[in-house]
Chains A and B, each alone.
Chain A
Amino acid sequence: MTTQEIIRKISGRFPTVETTIIDGENALNVLTDKDAIVQLCAFIKNELGYDYLQFLTCIDRLDKLEIHYHLYAYASQGTIIVKTSVERVGGKIQSVAALWKAADWHEREAYDLFGVVFEGHPGLRRILLEEDFVGHPLLKDFKGKNVVVLPKI
């Protein structure tokens, strides 16, 4: 399955999804709306064979929170990066933990550090920080008592 075929298949099924090729790599960027995330991921996993969730992470874009799903297919050795975004504070998105079990801990981590709520997650609670921690440290405006912002060089 070439990259072009994958793009065709995705846009055939999800017309609103934006797909771009990353130069020099067997990789795709797939931009989607957050409501379609589970259907899109299920499609990518079950029909395109992207069976390995490398990781899932968020990027604080100040006006929104971007969520990246790095997916990999062992068969075709290609990568798809599904990107979507939610509100910065109190953002909610459907969980993909039912598709990849790996997503379980990665979603917990994203919740822990960014505060994104993954709906339908089997046990969404903090994973790296202590349970009574206040705030989500990887947000750009997080003010912890130990966070010292260094001067710009």
Chain B
Amino acid sequence: MKEDSAQDFITEEYLLNMGPQHPATHGVLRLVLRMDGENILDLVPDLGYLHRGFEKIAENRTYKQFLPFTDRLDYLAGMFNNHVYCLAVEKLLKITVPPRAEYIRVLVSELNRIASHLVWFGPFAMDLGAITPFLYAFREREMIIDLLESVSGQRLTYSYFRIGGVAQDLPDDFIVQAKAFCEYFKPKVDEYDTLLSKNIIFIKRTKNIGVLPKELAIDYGCSGPVLRGSGVAYDVRKNEPYSVYKDLSFDIPVGTIGDSLDRYNVRIEEMRQSVRIIEQVLEKLPGGEIMAAVPKVVKPAPGEAYARIEAPRGDFGFFIVSDGSDKPYRLKIRAPSFSNLSVLPELVKGLKISDVLAVFGSIDIVLGDVDR
């Protein structure tokens, strides 16, 4: 009897196209899902919708000309892209950046990190169906954007860094305003906790969802909060300090099992740590020059350099090969989102369609970064 009815009831697998225009793919990513009802059997990401060929463009631009392009990589964290590019070129040129410039770089980078994490926090909550946190996050982000605008003149694509320093000094009241922002922002993070982090539905949606074991995270080359969420206490700022991070004290938040909730908590805690760093930088900010002596035409000696930093999305690197001319011979961008995204198919197998968003959101990718 039972067998008969099972035979009558025919089920079929089907393909579901998520994106490239879909509210939850945060840009133009296409996810092809093989589904059985609500359950996911397989997921194949299809990238490249935002591929602009920056690596090719770089070969046809001088070192200084390429700087504004870097902003468009991870467009939510423009400062970091500038930073790592400048670091790589400075390494080729063997330039030392003046301390004030280094401190300013760290200052704006950390502000940018908070802004970037806020743009992750809001949409992540929205993916899970809570809309209000999105607007709270953007309220705070607006203040950071205003601060960064007062420094660089831009709101998103800053191009504030220069090879050898930064474009201009901080405006007069910047330090006061940055301090005021820190004071304002600290209770706000607690507010996010009350609103979302402690919500039972939120915890049920994210706990034990998309568990990424330590070994797998390393194997897939994951970095940043995704790696730390899995329990690897690795942060380029701490383990291979660049700029002035050596002189600043901050903690590296680490998760335990590597589920979506861990990755969430790591990022929330990172915002707090960034505030800590900003406060220290504001205290320690030295005077002096903001630009090193850099030749008008940047022509590094033949050679290669790899610089990497801890961007909001992870281990961000620029590999530049110079042939002695004024243009990079080859420029490779090591994008954190690219590797982080590659782990997604592994994480969502056997989960429900709603969980894809809980996992995908917690990985936090930027398509400009993935596709370059």
A and B touch in the complex (CB under 8 A): yes
Interface of A is mostly: loop
Contacts of A109 in B (CB 8 A): 338
Give the one of B61, B317, B332 with max A CB within 10 A: B332
> A128-B48, A128-B51, A150-B60 given as contacts; is B330 within 8 A of A105 (CB)?
no
The answer to the question of A102 belonging to the interface, with a C-beta cut-off of 8 Å to chain B, is yes
The answer to the question of B47 belonging to the interface, with a C-beta cut-off of 8 Å to chain A, is yes
Are B329 and A102 in contact (CB-based, < 8 A)?
Answer: no
Distance between Cα atoms of A137 and B326 in the complex (Å): 21
Residue of B nearest to A133 (CB): B48
Report the interface size for chain B: residues with CB under 8 A from the other chain.
Answer: 38
Are A105 and B60 in contact (CB-based, < 8 A)?
Answer: no
Contacts of A101 in B (CB 8 A): 216, 219-221, 342-343
Residue of A nearest to B234 (CB): A74
Interface of B is mostly: mixed
Contacts of B326 in A (CB 8 A): 152-153
Which of A6-14, A30-38, A55-63, A86-94 sits within the interface?
A55-63
> A102-B339, A104-B342, A147-B56 given as contacts; is B297 within 8 A of A70 (CB)?
no
Are B48 and A129 in contact (CB-based, < 8 A)?
Answer: yes
| Cβ-defined partner of A102 (8 Å) among B239, B321, B342, B372 | B342
Distance between Cα atoms of A39 and B297 in the complex (Å): 44
- What mask results when residues 127 to 146 of chain B are scored 1 for a CB within 8 Å of chain A, else 0? 00000000000000000000
- What mask results when residues 50 to 64 of chain B are scored 1 for a CB within 8 Å of chain A, else 0? 010101100111100
Contacts of A130 in B (CB 8 A): 48
Give me the interface of B with A, judged by CB distance under 8 Å.
47-48, 51, 53, 55-56, 59-62, 216, 218-221, 232, 234, 239-240, 297, 306, 308, 315, 317, 319, 321, 325-326, 329-330, 332, 334, 338-339, 342-343, 371-372
